Amino acid sequence: MDMSVEVNAAREAAKVAAAEALARYGDGWPCGFAWVEVRMRTNTKAAKALIAAGFEKSSWQSGVLTMWDPSETRVQSMDVKVAGARAFAKSLAASTGVEAYACSRMD
């Protein structure tokens, strides 16, 4: 199973959404982080395919794969990063059926 195409498409969706949010809100407050989580057993074929495509096993939760800042936007605005993470999660879920969640934390 190869999920690199779907993950790359989700990254592109994240970049577009983050660019739109940056144009709308600017790079201001609140500062923070955003990432995408997929909750599944990490020894399955699907999990291994996601890991090969760029996800990592969570270092603090078992059964969770994470991808930090999927839009790869070099800003501090949490709103911009969350917009990218939401778009990534929505795109990945639509193309693969994998339930993905956008998560965030203020800095």
Residue (of 27, 60, 90, 52) closest to 102 by Cα position: 90
Q: What pTM, to 2 d.p., does this model score?
A: 0.91
Instruction: State how many domains the chain has.
Output: 1
For 55-103, write each residue's pLDDT tens digit. 999 878 888 999 999 999 999 999 999 999 999 999 999 999 899 999 9
Contact 69, 34 (CB under 8 A): yes
Range of the domain at 82: 4-106
